[in-house]
Structure 1
Amino acid sequence: MQRSFIRSKQKRYIAIRNVTILSVIANLLLTIVKITFGVIGHSQALIADGIHSFSNLAIDAMVLLAAKYSLLAPDARHPYGHGRYETLVTLAAGLLLIVMAIGLFSEAYEHLIGHKASSEPTSIILIIAFTAIIIKEAIYHYTIYVANKVNSPMLIANAWHHRSDALSSSLVFISVLGSMAGYLWLDAVATIIIAIMIAYIGFEECLPAINKLIDSSIKKEKLLEIKKIVESVDGVHSMYQLRTRKMGINILIDMHIIVAPRISISEGHRISEIVRTNLLDEIEEVIDVLVHVKPKHANTSLNLPQRSEIIPNLQRQPIDNIDKIENVTLHYLENKLSLDVDLPLNIIQNNNQAQLLSQQFAKFIANEPKIQAINIYYHGTNYNSPQIFQIEELRNFIQIKD
């Protein structure tokens, strides 16, 4: 399973790298062409569009780096891997768009309010803007296709940069037509609209990235899917305190499950392992699951004594064959403490001796108000023997079975 996961990550990186390299080439050419002909053709909107393409070029570089470093395996300093490189790049890309939008808006607004003279854009601007629309829209669709295929929010964000570039080129096209018709102010208005659009996309990218960095939970639909998987496991009574967080595209989970109150630690651990394995197998994005096992009714007071206090005290009691005790299991349930004591059957010769032993244990717990009950279990030297006794005595804490 681990090898398959690594291969999947490598294929994911290759897919992101290939589509981003295509984006780099397109953005580099468009940046040069837009800014150059924006100056030559007297179009402030095309220059702004060229700066937009340049910002996309910078973001492409960050995407390539993030895709590479997020592939790194977990290490001592990064035990959960490097998935947040993608989140950081998404945040940086959004912030870069916002900063760029503020600059474009400020310059265009000053140009519009200051009534600065504008030169009429040339017809070559129309050809460049139309070509940019076709190229960017095509790259948008291809990038979205790859992003959905590899489940990359970072690549989806980058795809929307291409869509915003196509939209801004559309505004350039419209503004140039208006300017050529004598409405020279349309160039500045188009620049302002482009700036607002870029800022909006920047905020749309920043907010989810910030939520991931502050460990916001995953969507409700995915939480319900997790709950369904967990509660379908045999032995799980219920679950609570389900907490999730994102690490790039990956999901980390921790939760508490409720199990039967008197099962063994090993059975409880096995149930938790089945829960963990099922989540890892059935939800592709999940890479780590921490399951806390809690017995039903285990609302335990911290004032109850621990094993290190109980066992030495028990061993000091004047109880027959106290040194023959093979195991003591402590149960902390409903703010009460009870003990299961295992003894060999061969120490009991008759029922009277069993009753005497029960009275000695009864006297012990009478002096120990924090212990509610003791259950004594006898077994033969052959564990397959059907002979098992429980001694019943004071306050129903000791029972006997044939």
Structure 2
Amino acid sequence: MNLENRAKASQKVTIIGAIIDFLLAIFKVIVGTLGNSGALIADGIHSFSDLLSDGVVLYAAKHSAEEADDGHPYGHERFETVATLGLAIILVIIGIGIIYDAFERLFSPSELSYNVLLLSVAALSIFSKEALYWYTLKVAKTYKSDMLKANAWHHRSDALSSIVVFIGILGSLNGYLYLDGAAAIVVGFMIIYIAWELGLGATKELVDSSIDADQVENLRNAIGRISGVNSVHSLRTRKIGHAISCDVHVQVDPFLSVSEGHIISVSVERVAKECLEDLNDVTVHIDPEDDETVAPYATLPERAEALGMLTKALFSNKCDGEIERIQLHYLDSRIHVDFYLPLSCLESDQSSDEILSKLHETVDALEGFGKVKVYFSKS
């Protein structure tokens, strides 16, 4: 996905929305004040809040498209998540304020004036905000932006609240004066509900919640079918803005070469990205055995120390002269050793069994070491 195009599309749809929000807010507040409609004034304040949210979205759209840097090695996608959470907080504050003001008007209702103008502005708000909802939602789906989706629902909340305002004004004009205040209260609660939905999703992402369980299971099955992968464990996923990140441990044959293990990890990354379209960061850990069940290796010597111990023991037993290479395998909580010797060793008086027996005797005396294998080859 082209991040530059994504940012431009996000900024364009947000600027269009901001212009419409600004005009609607002015119309609603002025006409609501003239017509003495608390519901329309509350709706106008809601539209003014959209301008603030549009500003937050513009800022996030610009910065979330930036490439990863030293300070943000995983990219800037979570600017969108923070912006979504910010929108939710703004909506909650506005919703509470509208409800508080509406309760005062509910118990002290006033007659409305400029009836046609009040209904016209409310109707204009319904149609314009619904159009903005569908336009913004289309861009959000095209570029998989939760932030734009949040802003689209913000537009939908305006459309729904304007419907409630329209009904409230219409009821008040027909003698039910309390309906204007009741409509404003309904608008306030609608705003708070939408804020809850948006804030909950953003919070889950910020605390690194996993993606959908079915997606995780599909990913696990896809990786498990790769040739050379014996099992899959410790599979973890999380969302970072519109993207997905994951890390996984795959168990392979413990005696594979490092290069073959690397090729398997490349295959795991490729298959994982084919399985999850929005997956852009995969960390693959190659395991020779299940490290969730095997005892830790903290007490075993690392390679340099282990080779030092072997070299000293071999020298003491006068059997180190012909060894070309030593390969160590950390398995079953022990160190297993492969010795590589030239075929010329077998031309001497010693047989392969005698050589193996001598090396076994040497290694068995060392603490933490296990099985021994000997391989003969031409130099």
TM, length-normalised to structure 2: 0.94
8 A Cα contact 2:319 2:359, kept in partner: no
The CA RMSD over aligned residues, in Å, is 1.7
Pick from 137, 152, 167 the counterpart of residue 174 of structure 1: 167
Matching residue's letter, 2:114: T
Pick from 37, 50, 53 the counterpart of residue 56 of structure 1: 50
How far 1:336 sits from its partner (Å)?
Answer: 2.9
State how far apart, in whole Å, the 1-side matches of 2:364 and 2:159 are. 84
Q: What secondary structure, in the 3-state scheme, does the structure 2 residue paired with 1:74 have?
A: coil
How far 1:319 sits from its partner (Å)?
Answer: 4.1
- The answer to whether residue 135 in structure 2 is matched with residue 120 in structure 1 is no
- Percent of aligned pairs sharing the same letter: 39
State how far apart, in whole Å, the 1-side matches of 2:272 and 2:356 are. 47
Counterpart in 1 of 2:306? 310
How far 1:282 sits from its partner (Å)?
Answer: 4.6
Counterpart in 2 of 1:391? none
Q: How does 1:158-173 map to 2 (within 5 A)?
A: 158-173=151-166
Q: What do residues 42-62 of structure 1 show as CA deviations (whole Å, max 9, x unaligned)?
A: 110000000111111211111
Q: What do residues 27-80 of structure 1 show as CA deviations (whole Å, max 9, x unaligned)?
A: 011001000101011110000000111111211111111111001000000000
Q: What secondary structure, in the 3-state scheme, does the structure 2 residue paired with 1:68 have?
A: helix
State how far apart, in whole Å, the 2-side matches of 1:313 and 1:336 are. 14
State how far apart, in whole Å, the 2-side matches of 1:55 and 1:197 are. 15
Q: How does 1:81-120 map to 2 (within 5 A)?
A: 81-112=75-106, 115-120=107-112
Q: How does 1:345-360 map to 2 (within 5 A)?
A: 345-350=343-348, 352-360=350-358
Pick from 358, 376, 379 the counterpart of residue 377 of structure 2: 379
How far 1:288 sits from its partner (Å)?
Answer: 0.9
State how far apart, in whole Å, the 2-side matches of 1:43 and 1:270 are. 69
Counterpart in 2 of 1:186? 179
Counterpart in 1 of 2:339? 341
Counterpart in 1 of 2:266? 273
With CA pairs under 8 Å and 6+ residues apart, which has the higher RCO, 1 or 2? 2
State how far apart, in whole Å, the 2-side matches of 1:261 and 1:84 are. 39
Q: What do residues 216-275 of structure 1 show as CA deviations (whole Å, max 9, x unaligned)?
A: 111112212321331122111111111111110111111111101211222112211221
Greater shift in the superposed pair: 132-141 or 78-87: 132-141
Matching residue's letter, 2:161: S
- The answer to whether residue 289 in structure 2 is matched with residue 296 in structure 1 is yes
Q: How does 1:146-161 map to 2 (within 5 A)?
A: 146-161=139-154
State how far apart, in whole Å, the 1-side matches of 2:356 and 2:62 are. 69
State how far apart, in whole Å, the 2-side matches of 1:275 and 1:247 are. 20
Matching residue's letter, 1:26: I
8 A Cα contact 2:341 2:375, kept in partner: yes
Taking a change above 3 Å as real, the CA distance of residues 232 and 50 of structure 1, as seen in their structure-2 partners, is same
State how far apart, in whole Å, the 1-side matches of 2:290 and 2:96 are. 59
Greater shift in the superposed pair: 341-350 or 255-264: 341-350
8 A Cα contact 1:319 1:357, kept in partner: no
Runs of 4+ in structure 1 deviating by more than 4 angstroms, as ranges, are none
8 A Cα contact 1:126 1:176, kept in partner: yes
Name structure 1 gaps, 5 residues minimum.
Answer: 382-402
Q: What do residues 296-329 of structure 1 show as CA deviations (whole Å, max 9, x unaligned)?
A: 3662543233323332222223445513322211
Q: What secondary structure, in the 3-state scheme, does the structure 1 residue paired with 2:321 have?
A: helix
Matching residue's letter, 1:348: L
TM, length-normalised to structure 1: 0.88
Q: What secondary structure, in the 3-state scheme, does the structure 2 residue paired with 1:135 have?
A: helix
Name structure 2 gaps, 5 residues minimum.
Answer: none
Matching residue's letter, 2:53: I
State how far apart, in whole Å, the 1-side matches of 2:350 and 2:170 are. 110
Counterpart in 1 of 2:5? 11
Matching residue's letter, 2:167: I
- The answer to whether residue 76 in structure 2 is matched with residue 78 in structure 1 is no
Pick from 353, 359, 362 the counterpart of residue 361 of structure 1: 359
Q: What secondary structure, in the 3-state scheme, does the structure 1 residue paired with 2:256 have?
A: coil
State how far apart, in whole Å, the 1-side matches of 2:364 and 2:79 are. 62
8 A Cα contact 2:323 2:341, kept in partner: yes
